[in-house]
Amino acid sequence: MEMTTDGGHETWMEQAFREAEKALAKGEVPVGAVVVYEGRVIGRGHNLVETLQDPTAHAEMLALTAAANALASWRLNDAVLYVTLEPCPMCMGAVLLARVARLVYGARDARYGACGSIVDLAACKELNTGIDIVGGVMAARSSSLLRDFFAARRTRAAPGPESDVQHPAPERCESG
Ligand SMILES: [Zn+2]
Residue 89 CA, ligand 1 centroid: distance in Å: 7
Distance 117 CA to ligand 1 centre (A): 13
The CA–CA distances, whole Å, from 115 to 29, 41, 136, 159, 162 equal: 20, 23, 11, 35, 34
Give the mean model confidence (pLDDT) for residues 141-158: 92
69-121 pLDDT tens trace: 999 999 999 999 999 999 999 999 999 999 999 999 999 999 999 999 999 99
CA of 47 to the centre of ligand 1 (A): 9
Dist. CA 138–CA 125, nearest whole Å: 28
Query: Which residues, by Cβ under 5 Å, contact ligand 1, an ion?
Result: 58, 88, 91, 176
Q: How far is the CA of 18 from the centre of ligand 1 (A)?
A: 18
